[in-house]
């Protein structure tokens, strides 16, 4: 069962960003699968820490690209990034309290967020950079 | 908990220099303490903006100087008169401008001296910083002549002294054959043209180089501070105005070459070295000045040099997000095209000659999060001497020894003192190179993983960070104004920032710790009430104005004891040729190349000129003065000053310019009355071929 699916439409045609998007989706999917099974808490924690660091670095790169291209909605996009990082950190500390709720959270929040993020912000960034 | 045994102290060069650093830091401490009280927050402490304040004083000097220039006339009489006009007729504007011009340039020397002293005391002149330090030395060689030529232009008695002494100093240089000092000894010798030259140097030449020099001095820094905070600009301008209105700068009587003033109101800021000229030969003064400059230039390479390895990029963890390059205070990181063939466009590259290994870049790296456990904690950029993974282990180890519910983890930097002594069963301390080396995720990690109940960040001097932006970046990251931001979930009341604006010593940090432990909240800074603070600031600026104005004229410098007069012996005379001209024989001509066959050979070398000077039969001077020029074919120049008691004296000058062994070719014996403070010049009149007293 995969949580997130990479679609060609997600592509920003920026090789570095696309590469990291794919890596991130892969990592999140792998983590989601582990959580479904009886993986031990420590292993999942390790995954989440990796996801957190990866996404943080990825956002840093995206933000730099936005600043470089004078992307007008940088402020909103940046806040969106910070929100997700906050949420992931919340999740990292809480998933173990209730594995089921944790799963739901991951599923809803992360999947929602990624879907929304790709459809709106990154798409606009793509338009901005390539026009 | 016993720390490692301290090595036995060894007294060598390294230890001595480190001791000197420490001593100077302690010496500056009272001043810092007083100013820190009057100028909260610490970011406003004038001691932390000395370089920028110096530049600001330079702006004041520039603006007031433009006004003075409008009215200034570049001639012997015009210079004096125009300055008098400005000072007295136009006192409300021109006079104030003149005083501002003077006092701001004096103030600049104070801030400049403190700036140098402080950077030295805090060991901020070595390693990659050598460039900023060494480029400061030529600035000194521009600032002092700038001030000295300014005193010269006024053409009062002090100006005359400055002119003669400067000329005596310059005469020592091998580039001048004749004595320049002689231009200022008699009224006849003075030329208007000279004021044009001085005005050019003072108004355009030196300032232009100075501006370029300042640019060179700071251009390697990332975001150099050129302007001090507005409050300090306003305060320093008001202080200078205060000095100007209460004690306006005035001239000291028109320069009169025939008189030597007994005592001069003396600007010790610019002329400190000049009195040495009376006691030492000019060569020794030059040796002192050049020696100091050389020592300053070499200082960055004197022991003890700390050899910390520069930051290293790990391409596997670097996606080229540029945050480290943006945060580096020393511009040591640039973004270059990717070199490892991955999809990323750029990568961070560290220039080891610029890197100070402060670790601020590590704190900026988004991959530097302690939650990474699936892979090794290797951030995109790291310090080889204190890697982040090792730091995480150190924090964990120290924190695990703590007990209770009020456990505090103290982070210190290279500048914080007495960290280890704070440690007890509920306090652990970890030392970083710089506070901004700590990624905000570590704060989140320590608190969320329950490694401690509170965190104290006890950095170095508030507003005076060893690595320029360590505190500013830390504060901004914690307040979520700068990347990487501290996550919102981290309870702010469990973090205390303890820059040393609120604590001076170990005991104060201990008190802060106790307070913090009790509340485990951020204690509000208890700064004095605004009214009292204003008063303290006003007092500080007033004291500054008083110091500036005082040393600008006091203590007076005594040129001559009362009842003394001065006699200057000054002339140039070409000695006769050593060899007569002779006609070459035919054989000798044949031996020469055809184009060199000059039938008459006149060797250019001249004899030295022998001079004796006696007062009432007592010989004050008897010496041979060698010819100038590398071929020894120039004039011999005589320039000597003698102090003679006032009264009537028989003066005798004798000179021989021929090869004779006895007697004189020219001599003058005359009974001369000398008044106290009189300046008598003995010259050689080349038209009448005789000595004269003027």
What is the rounded average pLDDT of the residues B661-689? Answer: 91
B158, pLDDT greater than 90:
yes
CB contact under 8 A, A60 and B373: no
Contacts of A59 in chain B (CB under 8 A): 366
The answer for A58, left when phi > 0, alpha when psi is -120 to 50, beta otherwise, is alpha
Kindly state whether A108 is in contact with chain B, defined as any CB-CB distance less than 8 angstroms.
Answer: no
The C-alpha of A84 sits at a distance from chain B's nearest C-alpha, in angstroms, of 10
CA atoms within 13 A on the CB side of B666: 18
Cβ neighbours around A117 below 10 Å, total: 18
B317, A50: Cβ pair inside 8 Å?
Answer: no
Q: Which domain holds residue A23?
A: 14-130
Identify the pLDDT of residue A99. 72
How far does the CA of residue A115 sit from the closest CA of chain B (Å)? 23
Residue B43 distance to chain A (closest CA, Å): 28
8 Å CB contact between A28 and A84:
no
pLDDT of residue B306: 64
What is the average pLDDT value for chain B, to the nearest integer?
Answer: 88
Q: How does DSSP assign B37-68, residue by residue?
A: HHS-SGGG-GGG-HHHHHHHHHHHHHHHHHHH
Q: Give the bridge partners for B408, in sequence order.
A: B427, B454
Half-sphere exposure in the Cβ direction for A98 (13 Å, CA): 4
Of the two residues B481 and B500, the one the predictor is more confident about is B481
Contact A64 B366 (CB under 8 A): no
Q: How far is CA A101 from the centre of its chain?
A: 19
- The answer, yes or no, to whether residue B520 has pLDDT greater than 80, is no
What are the structure tokens assigned to B561, written together?
């004891």
CA distance B120 to B123: 5
Where do we find the tokens 């390539």?
A130
In a domain, A123, yes or no: yes
Contact A90 B489 (CB under 8 A): yes
With respect to residue A27, please indicate whether it lies within any of the assigned structural domains: yes
- Most B CBs within 10 A among A56, A63, A67, hence the mutation to make, goes to A56
Any bridge partners for residue B427, and if so which?
A: B408, B424
Average pLDDT over residues B361-368: 96
Query: How distant is the Cα of B46 from the closest Cα of chain A, in angstroms?
Result: 35
In a domain, residue A93? The reply is yes
Which residues on chain B are in Cβ contact (under 8 Å) with A52?
A: 369, 371-372
Nearby residues of B394 by Cβ (< 8 Å), 6 or more positions away: B430
Any CB–CB contact under 8 A between A69 and chain B? no
pLDDT value, residue B503: 40
Please indicate whether, in this complex, the C-beta atoms of A60 and B323 are within 8 angstroms of each other.
yes
The CA angle A130-A62-B375, to the nearest 5 degrees, is 135
- Could you tell me if the ipTM is greater than 0.85? yes
Beta strands B312-313 and B381-382, pairing class: antiparallel
The answer to whether the CB of B641 falls within 8 A of the CB of B568 is yes
Closest partner residue to B366 (CB to CB) among A16, A57, A92 is: A57
Determine the length of chain B.
694
**Is residue A125 in a domain?**
yes
**Residue A62 token pair:** 């995206």
Cβ atoms of B344 and B454 within 8 Å: the answer is: no
| CB proximity list for B116: less than 8 A, separation 6 or greater | B136
| Residue A5, in any domain of the structure | no
Q: What is the mean pLDDT of residues B607-613?
A: 93
Using a CB-CB distance cutoff of 8 angstroms, which residues of chain A are in contact with residue B488? 82, 86
Reading the block at residue B359, the tokens are 């670790």
Number of domains in chain A: 1
Dump the DSSP string for A67-121. HHTT-TTHHHHHHHHHHHHHHHHHHHHHTTT-HHHHHHHIIIIIHHHHHHHIIII
Q: With beta carbons under 8 A apart, name residues in chain B contacting A82.
A: 480, 485, 488
| Count of C-beta atoms within a 10 Å radius of residue B380 | 26
Residues of B in contact with A20 (CB under 8 A): 319
Domain contains A1: no
Do A59 and B366 count as a contact with CB atoms less than 8 A apart? yes
Q: Is A58 on the interface with B (CB under 8 A)?
A: yes
**pLDDT of the residue at B508:** 64
Is residue B89 over pLDDT 70? yes
**pLDDT beneath 70, residues of chain A:** 1, 36-39, 96, 119-123, 125, 128-131
Q: What's the CA gap between B660 and B677, in Å, rounded? A: 38
- How many Å apart are CA B184 and CA B429, to the nearest integer? 68
SS3 B220: coil
User: Which range among B131-145, B172-186, B600-614, B668-682 shows the weakest confidence by mean pLDDT?
Assistant: B172-186
- Cis link prior to B101 (omega < 30° from 0)? no
The pLDDT of residue B410: 92
- pLDDT tens digits, one per residue of B319-342: 999 999 999 999 999 999 999 999
The pair of structure tokens assigned to B224 is 């150099």
Position B524 confidence tier, pLDDT thresholds 50, 70, 90:
very low
Chain B residue numbers with beta carbons less than 8 Å from the beta carbon of A58 are 319
Identify the weakest region by mean pLDDT among B265-274, B456-465, B685-694: B456-465
Inter-chain touch A92–B371, beta carbons under 8 Å? yes
**Rounded to 5 degrees, what are φ and ψ at B148?**
-70, -40
| pLDDT tier at B464, thresholds 50, 70, 90 | confident
CATH number assigned to the domain comprising residue A34? 1.20.120.50
What gap in Å lies between CA B596 and CA B670, rounded to an integer? 51
Cα of B225 to nearest chain A Cα, Å: 24
Q: d(Cα B646, Cα B631) in Å, to the nearest integer?
A: 42
Q: What is the nearest CA distance from B436 to chain A, expressed in angstroms? A: 18
pLDDT given for residue B483 in this prediction: 92
Q: Does B375 touch chain A (CB under 8 A)?
A: yes
Backbone φ/ψ region at B255: left (φ over 0), alpha (ψ -120 to 50), beta: beta
Contact A64 B323 (CB under 8 A): yes
Using the beta-carbon criterion (under 8 Å), do A58 and B319 form an inter-chain contact? yes
* Preferred mutation among A61, A75, A94 to probe B, highest tally of B CBs within 10 A: A61
Q: Are strands B333-337 and B381-382 parallel, antiparallel or unpaired?
A: unpaired
State the smallest CA–CA distance between residue B369 and chain A in angstroms: 6
- Which is nearest to A82 in space by CA: A107, A52, A104? A52
Q: Which two tokens stand for residue B554?
A: 């006091």
pLDDT at B39: 80
The pLDDT assigned to B9 comes to 44
Sign of the dihedral through C-alpha A44, A50, A56, A58: negative
Q: Which residue has the tokens 């910083």?
A: B129
Strand-pair partners of A57: none
Residue with tokens 């080891």: B352
pLDDT band at B528, cuts 50/70/90? low
C-alpha to C-alpha distances, B264 to A126, B80, B102, B555, nearest whole angstrom = 75, 17, 16, 9
pLDDT at B676 over 60: yes
Q: Is B404 left (phi over 0), alpha (psi -120 to 50) or beta?
A: left
**Window B:484-503, CB contacts with A under 8 Å:** 484-485, 487-489
What are residue B598's phi and psi, to 5 degrees?
-95, 120
pLDDT per position as a tens digit, B232-278: 999 999 999 999 999 999 999 999 888 888 889 999 999 999 999 98
pLDDT of residue B172: 86
Gap between the Cα atoms of B442 and B437, Å rounded: 10
Round to whole Å and give the CA distance between B222 and B185.
Answer: 51
| Shortest CA distance from B321: residue in chain A | A61
> What is the pLDDT, as a whole number, of residue B351?
94
Contacts of B50 (CB under 8 A, 6+ apart): B111, B112, B114, B115, B118
- Whether the predicted pLDDT of B368 surpasses 90: yes
Return the closest-CA partner of residue B277 out of B181, B152, B367, B350.
B181
Which of B319, B375, B484 minimises the CB distance to A20? Answer: B319
- Rounded mean pLDDT, B620-646: 89
Residues of B whose CB is below 8 A from A16:
319-320, 342-345
Q: Is the dihedral of CA B167, B169, B175, B177 positive or negative?
A: positive
Whether the CB-CB separation of B381 and B350 falls below 8 Å is answered with: yes
Backbone angles phi, psi at B56, to 5 degrees: -65, -40
Report B:424-453 residues touching A (Cβ under 8 A).
441, 444, 448
Helices marked H in B247-281: 268-271, 276-279
Dist. CA B690–CA B480, nearest whole Å: 86
**Residue in B with minimal Cα distance to A51:** B372
pLDDT bracket for residue B504 (50, 70, 90): very low
Secondary element (H or E) of residue B361: helix B360-364
Given A46, A57, A92, which is nearest B367 (Cβ)? Answer: A57
Query: Would A3 be classed as within a structural domain?
Result: no
More confident site: B500 or A68: A68
- Confirm whether A9 is domain-assigned: no
Residues B356 and B127 sit within 8 Å (Cβ to Cβ): yes
pLDDT at B214: 95
């Amino acid at each position: 069962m995969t949580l997130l699916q990479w679609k060609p439409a997600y592509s920003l045609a920026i090789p570095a960003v696309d590469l990291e998007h794919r890596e991130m989706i892969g990592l999140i999917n792998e983590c989601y699968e582990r959580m479904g099974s009886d993986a031990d808490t420590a292993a999942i924690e390790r995954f989440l820490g990796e996801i957190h660091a990866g996404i943080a670095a990825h956002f840093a790169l995206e933000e730099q690209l936005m600043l470089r291209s004078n992307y007008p909605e940088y402020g909103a996009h940046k806040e969106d990034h910070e929100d997700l990082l906050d949420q992931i950190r919340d999740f990292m500390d809480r998933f173990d309290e209730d594995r089921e709720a944790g799963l739901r959270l991951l599923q809803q929040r992360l999947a929602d967020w990624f879907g929304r993020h790709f459809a709106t912000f990154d798409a606009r960034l793509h338009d901005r950079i390539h026009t | 908990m016993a720390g490692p045994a301290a090595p036995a102290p060894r007294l060598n060069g390294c230890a001595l220099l480190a001791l000197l650093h420490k001593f100077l830091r302690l010496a500056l401490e009272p001043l810092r303490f007083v100013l820190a009280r009057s100028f909260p927050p610490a970011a406003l402490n004038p001691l932390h903006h000395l370089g920028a304040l110096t530049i600001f004083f330079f702006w004041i000097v520039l603006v007031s100087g433009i006004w003075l220039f409008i009215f200034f006339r570049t001639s012997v009489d015009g210079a004096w008169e125009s300055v008098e006009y400005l000072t007295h007729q136009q006192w409300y504007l021109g006079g104030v401008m003149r005083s501002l011009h003077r006092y701001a340039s004096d103030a600049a020397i104070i801030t400049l001296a403190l700036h140098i002293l402080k950077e030295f005391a805090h060991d901020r002149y070595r390693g990659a910083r050598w460039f900023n330090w060494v480029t400061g030395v030529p600035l000194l060689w521009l600032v002092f002549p700038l001030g000295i030529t300014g005193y010269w232009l006024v053409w009062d008695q002090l100006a005359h002294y400055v002119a003669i002494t400067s000329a005596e100093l310059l005469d020592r240089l091998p580039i001048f054959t004749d004595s320049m000092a002689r231009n200022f000894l008699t009224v006849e010798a003075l030329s208007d043209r000279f004021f044009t030259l001085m005005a050019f140097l003072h108004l355009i030449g030196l300032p232009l180089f100075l501006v370029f020099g300042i640019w060179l001095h700071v251009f390697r820094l990332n975001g150099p501070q050129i302007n001090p905070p507005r409050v300090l600009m306003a305060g320093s301008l008001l202080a200078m105005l205060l000095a100007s209105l209460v004690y306006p700068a005035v001239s000291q009587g028109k320069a009169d070459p025939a008189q030597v003033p007994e005592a001069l109101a003396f600007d010790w800021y610019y002329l400190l070295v000049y009195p040495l000229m009376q006691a030492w030969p000019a060569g020794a003064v030059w040796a002192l000045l050049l020696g100091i400059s050389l020592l300053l230039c070499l200082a960055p390479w004197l022991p003890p040099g700390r050899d910390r390895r520069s930051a290293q990029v790990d391409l596997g963890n670097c996606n080229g997000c540029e945050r480290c390059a943006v945060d580096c205070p020393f511009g040591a990181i640039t973004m270059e095209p990717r070199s490892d063939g991955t999809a990323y466009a750029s990568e961070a590259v560290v220039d080891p000659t610029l890197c100070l290994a402060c670790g601020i870049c590590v704190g900026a790296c988004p991959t530097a999060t302690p939650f990474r456990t699936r892979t090794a904690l290797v951030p995109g950029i790291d310090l080889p001497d204190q890697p982040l993974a090792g730091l995480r282990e150190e924090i964990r180890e120290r924190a695990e020894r703590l007990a209770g519910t009020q456990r505090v983890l103290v982070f210190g930097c290279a500048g914080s003192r007495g960290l280890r002594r704070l440690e007890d069963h509920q306090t652990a301390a970890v030392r970083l190179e710089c506070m901004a080396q700590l990624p905000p995720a570590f704060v989140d990690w320590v608190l969320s993983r329950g490694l401690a109940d509170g965190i104290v960040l006890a950095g170095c001097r508030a507003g005076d960070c060893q690595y320029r932006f360590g505190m500013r970046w830390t504060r901004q990251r914690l307040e979520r104004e700068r990347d990487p931001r501290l996550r919102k979930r981290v309870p702010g009341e469990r973090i205390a920032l303890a820059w040393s604006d609120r604590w001076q010593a170990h005991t104060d940090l201990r008190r802060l710790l106790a307070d913090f432990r009790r509340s485990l909240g951020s204690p509000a800074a208890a700064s004095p009430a605004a009214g009292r603070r204003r008063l303290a600031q006003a007092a500080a600026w007033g004291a500054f104005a008083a110091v500036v104005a005082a040393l600008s004229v006091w203590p007076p410098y005594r040129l001559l004891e009362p009842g003394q007069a001065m006699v200057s012996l000054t002339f140039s005379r070409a000695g006769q040729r050593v060899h007569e001209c002779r006609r070459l024989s035919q054989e000798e001509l044949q031996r020469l190349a055809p184009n060199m066959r000059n039938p008459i050979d006149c060797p250019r070398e001249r004899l030295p000129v022998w001079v004796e000077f006696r007062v009432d039969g007592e010989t004050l001077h008897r010496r041979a003065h060698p010819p100038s020029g590398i071929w020894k074919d120039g004039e011999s120049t005589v320039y000597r000053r003698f102090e003679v008691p006032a009264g009537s004296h028989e003066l005798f000058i004798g000179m021989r310019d021929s090869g004779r062994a006895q007697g004189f070719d020219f001599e003058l014996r005359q009974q001369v009355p000398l008044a106290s403070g009189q300046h008598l010049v003995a010259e050689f009149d080349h038209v009448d071929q005789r000595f004269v007293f003027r």
